Structure 1
Amino acid sequence: MSAGLWILLGVFTLVAVLGAPLGLSMLAAGFAYMVATHQDVGLVVDQTMNGLYNSYLLIAVPLFIFVANVMHASGVIERLLGFGSAMVGHLPGGLAQVNVVSNLIFSGMSGSAVADASGPGLVVARMMTREGRYPRGFAAATSVVSATLGPLMPTSIPMIFYALIANASVGAMFLGGLVPAALMALALMSVIAIIARRRGFPREPRVPWSAMPAIFGRALAPLALPVILLGLIYSGVTTPTEAAAIAASYALVLAFVVYRTLKPAQLLDVMGETVKATAMITLIMSGAFVFNYAVANEGVPHLIQATLLSWKLTPTQFLLIVDLLMLFLAIVLDEVTILLVIVPLIVPVAQGLGIDLVHFGIVVVLNMMVGLTLPPHGLLLFVMAGLTGTPLSEIFREVPPFIVAMLGIVLAVTFFPDLALWLPLMAGMVHN
């Protein structure tokens, strides 16, 4: 490696170890690289500004974050939980099943695993541990794994970033995630049913059919949001960014006009939380753009591509390597950093091997979601432990069966591309 590359990696590691956010670590490393290689340090600003302001698609990210925060603050989660309980609460491990279904529904409004964990995941975990009905480790673990469903569904923020990087269709990515998300939900619910029967966990009372219309009616407006979004995008009426703006307006109408559960003072808090989350993502993106410039300037992408291609891998062998790489990286890095720094290095290799970029993107996102649940450093484990006050050791003991089931879905999508491509093919968004 050249001296410049050693300096880039050394400064990044040092600043990260000292506790700085990853975005600042990458910016510091990029700045040090510019100085060491006698380049104009103004390139740091140039790369950041060009990366952030040259993409109309990126505007969708803060809008979807805003939608999730409005829905959370306006009490929509309770309506969705009521609907989920009516649908699956009577199954073995009732509330744990509700956890999965509620996260699957709420994911159509958030697109973020952390948002799902801190929204419906936290609410259901508290319901499960009330009066000692479920062990707190099991309750937290089900919230952790259920939160991974969000980024597999439409409005997925990781899919938006991937589409930007790989020049793939956002609409095709959203459609491509639906079948894997459904399979993942069924796998998690099956594990819950098996554990519930073995450990004698309770079921919720079955809701009579006569009460179902009223329950469905209470949840209809928020349930309609994902359908409206998909309809707007796939009909060609709006771009994903414009659909995100309509979703934000729809959320405000629900909160202020339909339900009247959100006060103007609370809206300021919602906007503040949205700005914080957006600023955090923007900082990471800024650092990633500069870091990527330095890495590309050193010829690292070409070296990685040449090395992988020299191994004469089949598409399936390459995807299995990507599975392992993404799982490992997701343990130590957040998903935005992986998408912006690592994925651009391997997308050209996938293209060179003839792998459909929508299929490749779904495989990448699936692996990152599983990585967020892996002990000892999976991000969602720490998020849920902090929110619920549950010791990490108790969550660690409960997650392995779920991880095995999730890895099974990852391998299924890896070996059978049609699981991700069937719906985009039917919609004419990808071609054989």
Structure 2
Amino acid sequence: MSLAFLLCLLVLFGLAAMGAPIGYALLVAAIAYLGASGQDLALAAEQLIQGLYDSFVLLAVPLFIVAANIMNAGTVSDRLLKFCVAVVGRFRGGLGHVNIAASLIFSGMSGSAVADAAGIGKIIIEMMVKTGSYTRGYAAAITAASATIGPVIPPSIPMVIYALVSGQSIGYLFLAGIGPGLLMALSLAVLNAGLARRRGFATEEPVPLARMPQVTARAFPALMMPVILLTGIYGGVTTPTEAAAVAALYALLLASLVYRALTAGGLFTIFAHSARQAATVGIVIGGALIFNYIVATENIPRSLGALIEGTELSPLVFLLLVNLLLLLLGCVLDATTIILVIVPLFLPACAALGIDLVHFGVVAIVNCMIGLITPPYGILLFVINAVTGIPLREIIGEILPFFLALLVALGILILFPDLTLWLPRQFGYQG
């Protein structure tokens, strides 16, 4: 490890500690490395342009962001929530189950935990608090926890980014995320049911079965979006990037023509907000592309792989150690940064130890999502605090049981890879 690389790390972590956006910190640290090592500073621009030019798959990121923001607009979220209330609201702790079910369904449209928490999450928190049965902290905590499902169930922006750094198929990664996403939802539902009995949460008035067809019909067009998306990808009709464009177009037609919930002014606001979100992700990706060039130049992945092979770690112990590290990093870094900068360091070691890279990617993404609710610095905790005004101390006071439930789900995924790989194998995956 050269002095120039040590300077690069010092600048990176120094700027991050000062509160600089991580994308800018990566770019400045990379330029500091190039200058200290005597390389042409134009290499930074070259690596950025070449990395983006060679990664057509990245176009899916802004398209999924647009689709999610359109689906958050107007009556789409309301219709989905009413459908969830009709299906699972009749059980004790019903609105908690509605919260989880809504995140599970909406995850098939957004691919973003923050979009779920800030959009449909705000609505369901208000519904839960209004009943008087749930504290503000509990409603916010279960909303934050269920929002972590969003980037695991396809479509998933983190999986698109992981496919970029690992070379794995987005289609197989999307399939691999379905089982883990359902497991996360199940673990949260079991916990909510137990807490509902212990705390005596009231049951909601069940929706009459005679109204179920009407409620389902109103939500059916929105429910079809993930079906169209996945059918296009796995039916060989579209690439994942083209499927993202189809999803954005479908969301636009649905919100404007079918539900008539979108005005021209509202559409402009959505596009502007989506552009800002995509630009934020793009800056991080650009900085990571340059930083990954530096890491490759310093031969860090090969050195790390040789070190791990020398210690003769078993694949299971390696996975446990890596996941512990990612959990700790998840307290201070966002998921995009971890996937772009940290995860690629371990890919050569995974290959050497015979760890399937699709399984590793899904486990790492689940881990990063848990990091979003890790107290006291989880990003989702701050997002919900910002959109609802619920004090952080109330949210943190209730989040620990949900955090532990998701850790149990993560442990199961690590110990039993077939839970992740079974579905991709049914579609021809040979890993």
2:76 partner amino acid: V
Query: What is the CA distance between 1:378 and its match in structure 2?
Result: 1.1
Higher deviation after alignment, 258-267 or 378-387? 378-387
- Paired position in structure 1 for 2:288: 288
Q: Structure 2 counterpart of 1:309, which letter?
A: E
Q: Post-superposition shift, 1:74?
A: 2.9
Deviation string, structure 1 residues 188-212 (Cα, Å, up to 9, x no partner): 0111111111111122111111100
Residue pair 2:152, 2:180 contacting (<8 A) in 1 also: yes
**1:113-153 deviations in Å (ceiling 9; x for gaps):** 10111111111011111253311000100110010010111
What is the distance in 2 between the residues matched to 1:20 and 1:359?
33
CA distance in 2, matches of 1:338, 1:127: 34
Shift of 1:183: 1.2
User: Alpha-carbon deviations, 1:31-81, whole Å to 9, x = none?
Assistant: 111111111000110111111121111001100000001111132100000
Q: Is the 8 A contact 1:184 1:409 kept in 2?
A: yes
Question: Corresponding residue for 1:376?
Answer: 376
Residue equivalent to 1:354: 354
1:149 paired to 2:149: yes
- Is the 1:92–1:192 contact (alpha carbons within 8 Å) kept by the matching residues of 2? no
Alignment of 1:317-332 (within 5 A): 317-332=317-332
**Contact 1:225 1:247 survives alignment (8 Å):** yes
Contact kept? 2:16, 2:22, Cα under 8 Å: yes
Instruction: Please list, as runs of the form range in 1=range in 2, the aligned pairs for 1:103-122 lying within 5 A after superposition.
Output: 103-122=103-122
Residues 229 and 247, structure 1, Cα contact 8 Å, conserved in 2: yes
Of stretches 276-285 and 372-381 in structure 1, the one that deviates more from structure 2 is 372-381
Confirm or deny that 1:229 pairs with 2:232: no
Q: Distance in 2 between matches of 1:284 and 1:230?
A: 28
Aligned to 2:186: 186
Matches within 5 A, 1:24-423: 24-130=24-130, 132-423=132-423
Letter in 2 for 1:323: N
The runs of 5 or more residues in structure 2 that have no matched partner are none
- 1:107 and 1:321 map into 2 onto residues whose CA distance is 29
* One-letter code aligned to 1:2: S
Q: Measure, in 2, the Cα distance between the counterparts of 1:131 and 1:238.
A: 45
Report sequence identity in percent: 49
1:431 corresponding residue in structure 2: 430
The answer to whether the 8 Å contact 1:121/1:146 transfers is no
Would the aligned equivalents of 2:112 and 2:151 in 1 still touch at CA under 8 Å? yes
Cα shift at 1:106: 0.5
Q: Give the secondary structure class of the aligned counterpart of 1:152.
A: coil
- Paired with 2:313 and 2:342, the residues of 1 have a C-alpha distance of 19
| CA distance in 2 between partners of 1:18 and 1:182 (Å) | 38
Task: Report the counterpart of residue 6 of structure 1 in structure 2.
Answer: 6
- How many angstroms apart in 2 are the aligned matches of 1:38 and 1:75? 57
1:77-128 deviations in Å (ceiling 9; x for gaps): 0000000000111111111111100010001110011011111111101111
Structure 1 position 292, deviation (Å): 1.6
Distance 1:55 1:291 in 2: 16
The answer to whether the Cα contact below 8 Å between 2:12 and 2:25 also exists between their aligned partners in 1 is yes
Is residue 125–residue 140 contact of structure 2 (8 Å, CA) maintained in 1? Answer: yes
CA contact (8 A) 1:295 1:301 kept: yes
Q: Which moved more, 1:2-11 or 1:332-341?
A: 2-11
Paired residues in the alignment total 431
Distance 1:353 1:10 in 2: 31
Moved more, 198-207 or 292-301: 292-301
Cα pair 2:75 2:261 within 8 Å, conserved: yes
- 3-state SS of paired residue (2:33): helix
SS of equivalent residue, structure 2 residue 373? coil
TM-score by length of 2: 0.98
